[in-house]
Amino acid sequence: MHNCLVALLIVLFPFLAVAETPEMKGLAIIQEADKRDLGWIDSKAELRMVLKNKQGQESERTIRINTLEVEGDGDKSLSVFDAPRDIKGTAFLSYTHSVVPDDQWLYLPALKRIKRIASANKSGPFVGSEFAYEDIASQEVDKYTYKWLRDELFDRRDCFVIEAYPVYKNSGYTKQVVWLDKEIYRAVRIDYYDRKNAKLKTLITSEWRQYLEKYWRPGLMEMTNHQTGKSTKLMWNNYQFRTGLTDRDFDRNTLKRAR
């Protein structure tokens, strides 16, 4: 009797091992997405940000963003504001980390001083927009745990639908539901759920372009807040890769020179 059972287990074992849980499948998909986006080294891009309130009033900001890929940790980025005029030249340096708070500095040209932002907050709005800083900071695998829900068509794209739960305890979200395009392995839609697990906002990305025949970047990101009726559009232009940026370009001392 016992022998029979053991024999059965031996026969079935390979199948049991292969049958992956939704959690494992979710993680595997994200790891694949992460792997496919490795090796771009550095990038430069111009960002136009249009904020809109429920009343229909709009406001615009333009930012240049340089990013340096960091293996094994979050990326480094330097953002320089070009408009509006009263914050022109303000530069924002950030070292993203997976689980511990990011390191962030801001250079204020009017004060000619660098200020370290000593705050555990990644969940506040980025320059008054509907994007939280954590939404646009580099997305590291370790920042979340995952669960694959289903496969589904979204906007005529074949997608994996995956739930991501933030590991970081100061996150503003309980979860994100990500529609990940099976072809390009990038998120084409994300629903964000707030701390009480109510749908807070939706991000739709579009105008995808491939760079260096490998790396996909969206030309347009639109975030709509369902609770307040406000929305923000991010329009990306002039993407450049492997421009020769180094660690020294993301040094605190470069902040003052970054115009």
Partner 1 sequence: MKTFEAAYASWVMNNRFIIIALSLVSVTALSYGGGYLRFDSSYRAFFSDNNPELIAFENVENTYVKDDNVMIIMAPQNGDVFTRATLAAIEDLTIEAWQVPYSNRVDSITNFQYTEAKEDNLIVRDMVKGADTLSDEALLTARRAVLAEPSLKHRLISATGHVTAINVTVQMPIDERAEAGQTIAAYVRDIVKHFQEQHPDIDIYLSGMVMMDAAFFESAMLDSKTLIPISFVLMFSIIALLVGGLFRTAVTLLVIIFSISASMGVGGYIGYPLTSLSSSAPIIILTVAVANCVHVLVTFIHSMHDGEPKLPAMEESLRINLQPVFLASTTTAIGFLTMNFSEVPPFNHLGTLVSVGVLVSFFLTISFLPAAITLLPVRLKKATEDDTKSISVLAEFVIAHRNRMLLGMTIVIIAAVSNLPRNQLDDTFLYYFDKSVKFRTDTDFMIDNLTGVDFINYSLDSGSSGGISDPAFQFDVERFAQWLESQPEVVHVSRFTEIMKRLNKNMHGDDEAYYRLPEERDLAAQYLLLYEMSLPYGLDLNNQVNVDKSSTRVTATIGVISSNEMIAFNDRALTWAKNNAPSLGYIESAGVSLMFSYIGQRNIAAMIVGTTLALILISAILIIALRSLHIGLVSLLPNLAPAAVGFGIWGVFVGEIGLSLSIVAGMTFGIVIDDTVHFLSKYLRARRENKLNPEDAVRYAFRTVGRALTITTLTLVMGFSVLASSSFKMNSGMGLMTSVIIILALIMVFLMLPPLLMKIEEKTIHA
Whole-angstrom distance, CA of residue 204 vs CA of residue 187: 9
Least Cβ distance, residue 118 to partner 1 (angstroms): 4
Least Cβ distance, residue 253 to partner 1 (angstroms): 13
Residue 193 · residue 199 · CB < 8 Å: yes
Q: What torsion, rounded to 10 degrees, do the Cα atoms 135, 140, 142, 143 define? A: -10
- Taking CB under 8 A as the rule, does residue 253 contact partner 1? no
Residue 254: closest CA among 66, 35, 63: 66
Whole-angstrom distance, CA of residue 150 vs CA of residue 251: 43
Determine which residue in the list 45, 106, 141, 204 makes contact with partner 1, applying CB under 8 A. 106
Least Cβ distance, residue 64 to partner 1 (angstroms): 16
Least Cβ distance, residue 63 to partner 1 (angstroms): 11
3-state secondary structure of 121: coil
- Taking CB under 8 A as the rule, does residue 127 contact partner 1? yes
Helix (H) or strand (E) holding 29, with range, is helix 22-36
- Taking CB under 8 A as the rule, does residue 254 contact partner 1? no
CB atoms within 10 A of CB 148: 21
Determine which residue in the list 11, 16, 17, 110 makes contact with partner 1, applying CB under 8 A. 110
Residue 132 · residue 154 · CB < 8 Å: no
Determine which residue in the list 29, 80, 132, 180 makes contact with partner 1, applying CB under 8 A. 132
Least Cβ distance, residue 120 to partner 1 (angstroms): 8
3-state secondary structure of 238: strand
Interface positions, 141-170, toward partner 1 (CB under 8 A)? 170
Binding stretches for partner 1 (CB under 8 A): 51-55, 57-59, 81, 84-87, 90, 92, 104, 106, 108-111, 113-121, 123-128, 132-133, 170-172, 194-196, 198, 227-230
